[in-house]
Structure formats: structure tokens, C-alpha cells
Amino acid sequence: MKLNKKDSNLRVEILSQALPYIQKFHGKTFVVKYGGSAMTDPVLKLETIKDLVLLSCVGIKVVLVHGGGPEISTMSKRLNLPVKFVDGYRVTNKETMEIVEMVLVGKVQKDLVNLFNVSGAKAIGLCGKDGKLFSAKPIANMKKYGFIGQVQTIDVDILHTLLEKSFIPVVSSVGADHFGQNYNINADDVAGSIAVAMNASKLILMTDTPGILKDSKRPDTLISKMSIKEAEKLIKNKIISGGMIPKTSAAISTLKNGVKAVHIINGGLMHSILLEVFTDTGIGTMILR
């Protein structure tokens, strides 16, 4: 494809903007949470994986934590199991927990690992039970949510080992307690816990919205940058609601525990990670400590 002068100049400008960021983040760790409808588009999924491989190639250590909500819902419906959400959490009974593990660890994770491999990288899939990466405990009000858990303990030695060997870890948000009971853990919480434990430079949360909006019905009300206090105020005033509550709460907790920046971006936009990380303006919401 032949580029006109305007397109060529634009690409050169983008590359020139990227250089200082590549230099700044070389050797740093990025934890990326990948989920939402962006995972259901095969073309977009492959391009996202290629973008993560690019980050790895320029010296950024990438850990990918993935969701798989649409796939879990599809499989549950096939098996005539109820699909219900409360406060942004999937209500998870014993049967649904089996579906969650089967879909996330058995299918979604392996599909992502395969895409990394065919894109020129080396990836390995893990869940909380592998290498005792993280253990789980039930969140409050178990009767309301079912087997929904939160991270209790975490040991990221296995992640450091994999990164030192140039592997990209692909982590599913399924963990077990000390008795072996499995729990469905919000992938944002898992990503946040890993980011804190690894002293990551950035936590990037890919979602179905442009970022945090002042008006959820108007994408042009995107808030590009905010502080922890501003984010907490938006939750209190119910401007942040639904599924964005656990996402933003995970971001706030991560920042309070040492991570420098959290980015909430639209995973449905082609090359969204590169546009957020390697350009001056970005495309999503950055929350700073």
C-alpha cells in the first residue's frame, strides 16, 4: 500500500513520540488486564497480542491477566445455567464455578498462549494454583455472590523466573483457598495484586469503554487524567457505576500500594495499548498516585 505524504508524516510523528517512552520504560514491568468484547473479535485479538509482543521486544516486561466473561456466559447458556450479575460481579454457584475454570483455564488462556507463540513470542499459561501464584478467600457476603473470591496471598517468584527467560506469562483469574476450593476472582483484582507484588510501573486495564466518563452516555466526556481522590469522589457520587466500580476500585487499591499509574482504556480500539503508552495524549484514562 502506497502512503501519501500526510500519512507518512503522521507515522513518523508517532514513531518520534514513541522513542522517549520506549527509553523510559525499557526494563520496566507492565501488567495488562485483557478482557471484554475485545477478546471476541479474532482480528482485534491478534493485533492486541502483536502489540504486547512489540512491548516485549522493546524491553518492557509484560504480564497478561485475562478475563473471558462473554465466553463464560455463552457456555453457561448452552448448559442452561443462569447468568446473573450483582454489583458488577458474576454470581457463581458450584456449577458455574466449574464452567469458569473450564473456559478460562482450559480454552481462553490456551488460545491466547497460542496467539503469542504464532506472533513470535514465547508464552506460558498459569492460574492461581500454578506455582502457588496466588491463593483465594471468599469476599464478604458469599450468599449474595457465590464462589467469588479475592486474592489472599501472592507469590510472584514464578513470574519473575518466566520473565527472566523471556516468556510472557498469561494468567487466568481462577484461584483456590487453602482447602482446595476454587474461586472466581475478578481479573482486575488479580491484575492489581500482581502489579503491586511485582512493583510494576503500570497497570493497564482494557475494557469496553473509552475510560472513565463524566457522562456514561457521552464518550466525549472522557477524563484523561485524574488523582485517587477524584476517582473516589466519582464512585461516591455514583458517576462511576456498575462494572466500572470494581475496575476503578482495583485501580485505586493498586495505586495506594505503590504502583505509579493505572490506565483504563478501550480494548475495542485497534492498537489501543500503543496509543496510550507511546503517545503524548493517550486515548484513555490515567489515574495517578
Domains and CATH numbers, the chain: 27-288 (3.40.1160.10)
Cα–Cα distance measured from residue 86 to residue 139, given in angstroms and rounded to the nearest whole number: 13
Residue with cell 469503554: 209
57-114 residue pLDDT tens = 999 999 999 988 888 888 888 888 888 887 777 888 898 899 999 999 999 999 999 9
pTM of the model: 0.90
Cα–Cα distance measured from residue 113 to residue 125, given in angstroms and rounded to the nearest whole number: 6
Mean pLDDT, the chain, whole residue set: 89
179-234 residue pLDDT tens = 999 999 989 889 999 999 999 999 999 988 899 998 878 888 999 999 999 999 99
Burial degree of 79 (CB within 10 A; 0-12, 13-18, 19+): exposed
Q: H helices then E strands: how many in the chain?
A: 11, 14
119-136 residue pLDDT tens = 999 999 999 999 999 999
One-letter amino acid of 275: L
DSSP letters, 3-14, are: PPHHHHHHHHHH
Residue with cell 456449577: 95
- pLDDT of 169 > 50? The answer is yes
pLDDT of residue 104: 93
DSSP letters, 16-32, are: HHHHHHHHHHTT-EEEE
Is the Cβ–Cβ distance between 163 and 63 less than 8 Å?
Answer: yes
Which of 164, 81, 167, 166 shows the shortest CA–CA distance to 123? 167
Cα–Cα distance measured from residue 250 to residue 190, given in angstroms and rounded to the nearest whole number: 9
Who wins on pLDDT, 30 or 268? 30
What spatial distance separates the first Cα and last Cα of the chain, rounded to whole Å?
A: 44
Instruction: State whether the Cα torsion 22-24-28-31 is positive or negative.
Output: negative
**Cell of residue 186, nine digits:** 475478578
Cα–Cα distance measured from residue 101 to residue 223, given in angstroms and rounded to the nearest whole number: 35
pLDDT of residue 112: 96
CA angle 62-65-69, nearest 5°? 150
Is the Cβ–Cβ distance between 239 and 180 less than 8 Å?
Answer: no
- pLDDT of 1 > 50? The answer is no
